[in-house]
Structure formats: structure tokens, C-alpha cells
A and B are shown apart, each in its own frame.
Chain A
Amino acid sequence: QVTLKESGPALVKPTQTLTLTCTFSGFSLSTSGMRVSWIRQPPGKALEWLARIDWDDDKFYSTSLKTRLTISKDTSKNQVVLTMTNMDPVDTATYYCTRISTSLNFDYWGLGTLVTVSS
């Protein structure tokens, strides 16, 4: 059974760095073809793809946010970590992590974690 769960602070201040952790089970990110992505959704707005990390440690970022994002994995802990620097109130959103399997199938999603940016 595949599960993913996002964790991190519910509230961050402007200019701070956000660190989110996706803890998953039911698969290994060392298995060829496996990938994990982060996606966010501001309240009442559309989904936005943020970043992806692959089984071979390849990393990819949203064009508009790549200067602020870092994605990494700890295969032994079954975790993927996303950091976002210089947080702003417009970054207030629910952040989701997802597993990606063959044919770019975003097949399993976490429940998401709401991050509010406010002083």
C-alpha cells in the first residue's frame, strides 16, 4: 500500500526558508523509474507543479521558481525534502507530494499540508 504524507511548519514568516518533508511508504525511490514531485495550491487557486526528483537523483524545477527551490531525497528514510527560500505571503498554499510511476503517472498523492506565510 502506497502512502505519502507531507509535514512541515504551518506558519512561516516572510523572508524565511520553508522546509517540507514528504515521508512515504509502499515503494522505494531507489527503484528504477520511480519519481516524487511537489505540487502546491494557493487557497481557491489552481494547482502548480514545483519540482521533481527521480530514482537516479536527477532533479527538476519549475521555471518560475527554480532559483528558490531545492529538492533532495533520503532513500534510507523514505523521505523527500523540499526547501523554498525567501517565503512571501503569495506562497501561502497547500503543498502536496506525489509519487510518479511509469508513463508519468502521478498515481498517489499525500493529503497535503497548509503553509501560511505571515508576519
Chain B
Amino acid sequence: QTVVTQEPSFSVSPGGTVTLTCGLNSGSVSTSSYPSWYQQTPGQAPRTLIYSTNTRSSGVPDRFSGSILGNKAALTITGAQADDESDYYCLLYMGSGISVFGGGTRLTVL
């Protein structure tokens, strides 16, 4: 069974830079996985940050960027702010119409 892996938690200092990753338990993530990233705060619907590896969704600040690092997708937040403290989820396309979410990363800004 395909499992999408994310760091369960991460911490960053205000103004700092953090890179969250999204991998597969078997195989590599590539642009063909169409990796996308979502931010979610408690009680709210997810907000799309990045799609198709590195395209920012409308209205998303440019301190959020997406890439492929090695065999994983990555979300980098540069100049972290207090309101970036959220849960972050990646979504990968597996082919044959199927997508799978990662388990999410809880980001703390302190």
C-alpha cells in the first residue's frame, strides 16, 4: 500500500526558514506526482498553497514555495510568521485518477 510520508511536527523561529517534505514509502516523488500543499488551521477548511509542484495558488504570499528535493516534494516557508502556525498537508497523484494525502505536519512558530 502506498503511504505518503510527512514529518509529524516541525518548529521554526519567527523570521526563520523551514522546509517540510512529502515522500513515498516506496519510490520517488516527481513532477508527475503533481504535488500540492494545503494549509489548515483548526476548525477551518484547508487552503490551497501550492499545486503542480511549485505553482502558488492565487493570493498566496511568495514566502511559500514548492519544489522537488531529491526524491521528495518540499514546501519551503521563508520568513515564517506567527500566523503560519498551522497543519500542512501534501497531496500526491498516484496515477489512474487516484490521489493520496500525507499524514500532515504540525508547524509551530516560536
Interface residues of A (CB under 8 A from B): 37, 39, 46-49, 52, 54, 58-64, 96, 103-107, 109-112
Is there contact, CB below 8 Å, between A58 and B97?
Answer: yes
A63 and B94 alpha carbons, distance in the complex (Å): 11
B 73-109 contacts with A by CB, 8 A:
89, 91, 93, 96-104
* CB proximity of B59 to chain A, nearest CB, Å: 11
A104 and B38 in contact (CB under 8 A), knowing A47-B101, A48-B101, A109-B45? no
A104 and B100 alpha carbons, distance in the complex (Å): 13
A61 and B57 alpha carbons, distance in the complex (Å): 25
Chain B residue numbers with a CB within 8 Å of A103 are 34, 51-52, 55
Interface residues of B (CB under 8 A from A): 1, 34, 36, 38, 40, 45-48, 51-52, 55, 57-58, 89, 91, 93, 96-104
A96 and B48 in contact (CB under 8 A), knowing A58-B97, A105-B36, A106-B36? no
Chain B residue numbers with a CB within 8 Å of A62 are 98
Closest residue on chain A to residue B53 by CB atoms = A103
* CB proximity of A22 to chain B, nearest CB, Å: 13
Chain B residue numbers with a CB within 8 Å of A58 are 97
Is there contact, CB below 8 Å, between A104 and B48?
Answer: no
A47 and B38 in contact (CB under 8 A), knowing A63-B98, A104-B99, A112-B45? yes
A109 and B47 alpha carbons, distance in the complex (Å): 8
A107 and B57 in contact (CB under 8 A), knowing A46-B103, A47-B38? yes
Chain B residue numbers with a CB within 8 Å of A110 are 45
Chain B residue numbers with a CB within 8 Å of A105 are 36, 48, 51-52, 55, 57
* CB proximity of A110 to chain B, nearest CB, Å: 7
* CB proximity of B7 to chain A, nearest CB, Å: 13
